[in-house]
Each structure stands twice: as structure tokens, then as C-alpha cells.
A and B are shown apart, each in its own frame.
Chain A
Amino acid sequence: NAGVTQTPKFQVLKTGQSMTLQCAQDMNHEYMSWYRQDPGMGLRLIHYSVGAGITDQGEVPNGYNVSRSTTEDFPLRLLSAAPSQTSVYFCASSIRQGKETQYFGPGTRLLVL
């Protein structure tokens, strides 16, 4: 199993540009989520999904959209990038049932100029 994979590893955007951060998992996990990590603030939840076709907002959802058309993929879209979205983004997944542990991908480092 590859686990949780993310692409790209690094991206530079100009203010106002849009892009999609990709996340995929091959563990048949129903629950997937997106976090951002900023210095001194810990990881914060952006959006999450409890299964295909079901998504909801987390702690810091503004400026981001998600969709979940398959169990494997959970892309994060930035519609109009802002410098405040400069961060490192992590995707995580876990099985739905029981006291699940969340497994993280390697991250995407995003710089918005």
C-alpha cells in the first residue's frame, strides 16, 4: 500500500490564481480530511469527508472547496489564492469504525505571492 499520497509537493501561486491539491489513499478509508500547518499554530482542520459524496467544513474552511466523488480521492481547491493561504497542507485518512487513527500524507507546501 502507498498509504496517503499528495501532489504536488511544492507549488508557487500568484494572488488570485486557482489550483487543486490532490490527495489519494489506497487503504479503503472512509474518512478523509485536510489540515493546514502554520508556524506556532499547530495543524488546523479545513474540510473533512465521512464518505463518498459527503463533505463538511472544519475549523478554517474559508477560501477552500472540496468534493469526494470516490472513496480514494479527496481534492482540495483554492478558487482565488491569497497570501494568507501560504502554508503546508496535509491530507489524512482513517477507517470509519472504531477508535480510528488518522494517517497523514507527506504534505504540499504552498507559497502564494
Chain B
Amino acid sequence: EDQVTQSPEALRLQEGESSSLNCSYTVSGLRGLFWYRQDPGKGPEFLFTLYSAGEEKEKERLKATLTKKESFLHITAPKPEDSATYLCAVQAPKAGRRALTFGSGTRLQVQP
């Protein structure tokens, strides 16, 4: 069974204090690993897709990396507007489904 575990559950940073969020996964035949950002009361907003170990993608202060067992979302010099819940999800072929298996997320709070 596909499993995704995110840590920590919650993280509080000071503005400018860099850190990393972890996403560990167990899946047979990874097709893609996705990172989403979710603001309170809103739907998940797509950030990155990673397809193979060693791949990296960047967007502003965010950088996502992927190994065979986990992915990291590095946040460099965060700002208060980066406060949100960050969701990790994996996609693997399963009887034709394109379903995503999600972790429970990391709630990030960046204080000014």
C-alpha cells in the first residue's frame, strides 16, 4: 500500500530562517511526486512535480529535491507570506487510477 509521511507536522520559523520539510514515501512504481501549497480555506495550489531521483526544481524561495525514498522542500529566507500548509503527494499506477496519495501536510508559520 502506498504511504506518504510528512514531517514535521508543524514548523514555526522566523523570517529569514531557512529550513526543510520532509516527505517520506513508500510506493511501487513512482510515477511522480507532487508538492502543493494550501492556504486556509482554499484548495491545494500546485508547486512542483518531480519524476526521478536526483531531480530538483526551484521556484522563488522554494526548492524541491527527490531521492528514492524521500523528498525535501527547502525554504530559503522565508517570508511571512510563505506561511501555509505544504502537502506532498505521490502518484503510482493503480488499476488505471491517476489518484494521488497524500501526506497529512506540514503547517508552516513564518513570523516577522
Contact = CB atoms under 8 A, between A and B. Distances in A.
Contacts of B96: 50, 56
A100 B45 CA distance: 15
Interface residues of B, number: 24
Contacts of B104: 40-42
Nearest to B45: A104
B46 A58 contact: no
B53 interface: no
Interface string B14-50: 0000000000000000011010100001111110010
A101 B34 contact: yes
B42 A42 contact: no
A104 B46 CA distance: 8
| A interface residue count range (under 10 / 10 to 19 / 20 to 34 / 35 or more) | 20 to 34
Contact of A106 (B4, B32, B43): B43
Contacts of A107: 41-43
Contacts of A106: 42-43
B69 interface: no
26 contacts: A4-B43, A33-B98, A41-B104, A42-B87, A42-B102, A42-B105, A43-B102, A45-B99, A48-B98, A48-B99, A50-B96, A50-B98, A56-B97, A58-B97, A59-B99, A90-B44, A99-B32, A99-B49, A101-B46, A102-B34, A102-B46, A102-B100, A104-B43, A104-B45, A105-B43, A107-B42
